[in-house]
Amino acid sequence: MAGASQEALYASIDLELSWSEDQLPQAQRTKHVHGLHPYLGKFVPQLVEVFLGRYFRAGDCVYDPFAGCGTTLVEANAFGADAVGCDISAFNCLLARVKTVRYSLGELELGLRGALEDARRSGRSRRGATAWLRRWYAPQALGELLAYRRAVVGLPPPYDDVGRIVVSRAARSARLTTHFDLDFPREPVTRPYACWKHKRECRPVEEAWKFLERYTTDTVQRLRALAAVRSTRSVTVVHRDARTVQLPRVSGVITSPPYPGLIDYHEQHRYAYELLRLPDRRQLEIGAAAEGRTRAALTRYVSAMSEVFSNTAGQLERGSAVVIVVNDSHDLYPSILERSGLRLEERITRHVNRRTGRRAGEFFEDVLVCRVG
């Protein structure tokens, strides 16, 4: 019976949306700018490619009300569609903009190399560092990060934003934490430790310079790779609340909303908020981990998501496609869709592999293909 049930389950899975590690290795999942900065909770770009081909045409305008790190926006542009992304997180908007802006790549590389050299020559003052930064970084590492931050501020837009992403990525790697716990560090680590990743004793990171150099080179390479496939279509990133944002004319939606009680999106990039002095609007996050999954929290989630999709549907033409990738383990989306004026056309099951690291494993999620009206 168990074997038959498993066979029936896999028969219902859309294999075009489910891949093994051999079929879709990490290098493809993080192609060009999709690997520009680590980000928890993103969906793989190949999913968006499939959705664009099934439900949209070149020249359409695709909207993502939870733009996150910009996966939908990047893929929509490469597909030949305009794209609009909205997010409440200032860091998410910064990252999505950096991935999608058009650059003079020669000037960008010269500017970033110049910023590295300026930072190398400057002092390693920690003046102005917040208490949080002083707690999470060794003195040398913090001084190097701040020196680079001061250097990139002098770059002209939009190159200065690229420098901010480089320093953010370096800051993530240079924290006083174990090598195997960059995603969810709880307390600074200041002494040698048994390293699960390297199978030996390791020491906390005390410098940031090697990361600044490495990520400067990697960032330029990734932006060059995207330049080879991107189109001339427009990309707009809006730092707003998706419950109330006013949109330009858009054709439909591809999005992966936050799951209830899973990730604190502002806290995930706390180092960037502290280092870059970004405005923190975490109180407006929907489904933050800090909210938990109590009955009251799930009720608030349904209400907030209904507002987002109701606001979105009200600005779309009748019949427009709205593709939502969710792990609806609490069966919340039937109510959300009904409240939002969205009609469920198809519910597709997708098999997900967590392929590497301590979060390795597998689960199933749904793709809700909806229509407005």
Q: Which amino acid is at 207?
A: E
Q: What pLDDT, on a 0 to 100 scale, did the predictor assign at position 112?
A: 98
Task: Find out whether 365 and 327 touch, Cβ atoms under 8 Å.
Answer: yes
Evaluate whether residue 255 is within a structural domain: yes
DSSP 187-256: S---S-EEETTTTEEE------HHHHHHHHHHHHHHHHHHHTT--S--EEEEES-TTT-------EEEE-
Tell me the mean pLDDT in the region 289-293: 96
Number of folded domains that form the chain: 2
Tell me the mean pLDDT in the region 247-256: 97
Whether 14 has a pLDDT exceeding 90, the answer reads no
Task: Find out whether 75 and 48 touch, Cβ atoms under 8 Å.
Answer: yes
Q: What pLDDT, on a 0 to 100 scale, did the predictor assign at position 23?
A: 82
More confident residue, 84 or 41: 84
Evaluate whether residue 270 is within a structural domain: no
Tell me the mean pLDDT in the region 301-322: 98
* Distance, CA of 130 to CA of 79 (rounded, Å): 42
pLDDT in tens, 168-185: 999 999 999 998 888 889
Evaluate whether residue 121 is within a structural domain: yes
The structure tokens listed for 233 are 């279509």
Range of the domain at 129: 105-227
Tell me the mean pLDDT in the region 325-332: 94
- Say which range, 166-170, 179-183, 210-214, 231-235, has the weakest mean pLDDT: 179-183
Cα dist from 104 to 82, 113, 147, 219, 291, whole Å: 21, 14, 25, 14, 43
- Tell whether 366 and 239 lie within a shared domain: yes
Whether 6 has a pLDDT exceeding 50, the answer reads no
Tell me the mean pLDDT in the region 8-15: 62
Whether 35 has a pLDDT exceeding 50, the answer reads yes
Evaluate whether residue 277 is within a structural domain: no
Which residue is associated with the tokens 């901010």?
Answer: 164
More confident residue, 88 or 350: 88
- Say which range, 245-249, 250-254, 364-368, has the weakest mean pLDDT: 364-368
Task: Find out whether 285 and 265 touch, Cβ atoms under 8 Å.
Answer: yes
Tell me the mean pLDDT in the region 246-257: 97
- Tell whether 367 and 239 lie within a shared domain: yes
Tell me the mean pLDDT in the region 32-55: 95
- Tell whether 209 and 251 lie within a shared domain: no
Q: What pLDDT, on a 0 to 100 scale, did the predictor assign at position 357?
A: 47
- Say which range, 81-85, 195-199, 231-235, has the weakest mean pLDDT: 195-199
Q: What pLDDT, on a 0 to 100 scale, did the predictor assign at position 177?
A: 95
- Tell whether 121 and 210 lie within a shared domain: yes
* Distance, CA of 47 to CA of 367 (rounded, Å): 10
Q: What pLDDT, on a 0 to 100 scale, did the predictor assign at position 338?
A: 98
Tell me the mean pLDDT in the region 150-177: 97
Q: What pLDDT, on a 0 to 100 scale, did the predictor assign at position 124?
A: 86
Task: Find out whether 51 and 254 touch, Cβ atoms under 8 Å.
Answer: yes
First to last CA, the chain: 41
Evaluate whether residue 269 is within a structural domain: no
Evaluate whether residue 160 is within a structural domain: yes
Q: To which H or E segment does residue 370 belong?
A: strand 361-372
Q: What pLDDT, on a 0 to 100 scale, did the predictor assign at position 2?
A: 43
- Tell whether 22 and 41 lie within a shared domain: yes
Q: What pLDDT, on a 0 to 100 scale, did the predictor assign at position 252?
A: 98
Evaluate whether residue 357 is within a structural domain: yes
Closest to 84 (Cα-Cα) out of 234, 227, 223: 234
Closest to 325 (Cα-Cα) out of 285, 358, 352: 352
- Tell whether 182 and 217 lie within a shared domain: yes
CATH of the domain at 59: 3.40.50.150
Q: What is the dihedral of CA 190, 191, 192, 198, to 10 degrees?
A: -20
* Distance, CA of 345 to CA of 357 (rounded, Å): 36
- Tell whether 306 and 343 lie within a shared domain: yes
Enumerate long-range contacts of 267-271, CB under 8 Å, 24 or more apart.
268/39, 268/40, 268/41, 269/89, 269/91, 269/168, 269/172, 270/132, 271/133, 271/136, 271/168, 271/171, 271/172, 271/175
Residue 210 φ/ψ, nearest 5 degrees: -60, -35
Task: Find out whether 62 and 78 touch, Cβ atoms under 8 Å.
Answer: no
Q: What pLDDT, on a 0 to 100 scale, did the predictor assign at position 39?
A: 96
* Distance, CA of 137 to CA of 204 (rounded, Å): 9
- Tell whether 156 and 259 lie within a shared domain: no
- Tell whether 202 and 323 lie within a shared domain: no
Q: CB under 8 Å to 185, separation ≥6 — which residues?
A: 175, 177, 178
pLDDT in tens, 60-116: 999 999 999 999 999 999 999 999 999 999 999 999 999 999 999 999 999 999 999
Q: What pLDDT, on a 0 to 100 scale, did the predictor assign at position 11?
A: 57
More confident residue, 351 or 108: 108
Work out whether strand 200-202 and strand 193-195 pair parallel, antiparallel, or are unpaired. Answer: antiparallel
What is the average pLDDT value for the chain, to the nearest integer?
Answer: 93
Instruction: Name the DSSP letter for residue 269.
Output: T
Q: CB under 8 Å to 108, separation ≥6 — which residues?
A: 159, 162, 220, 223
- Tell whether 67 and 186 lie within a shared domain: no
pLDDT in tens, 16-30: 887 777 788 888 888
Q: To which H or E segment does residue 156 belong?
A: none
- Tell whether 142 and 87 lie within a shared domain: no
- Say which range, 2-6, 32-36, 151-155, 212-216, has the weakest mean pLDDT: 2-6
Q: What pLDDT, on a 0 to 100 scale, did the predictor assign at position 3?
A: 46
Last residue of a domain, one of 227, 250, 272: 227
Evaluate whether residue 273 is within a structural domain: no
- Tell whether 91 and 15 lie within a shared domain: yes
Q: What pLDDT, on a 0 to 100 scale, did the predictor assign at position 353?
A: 65
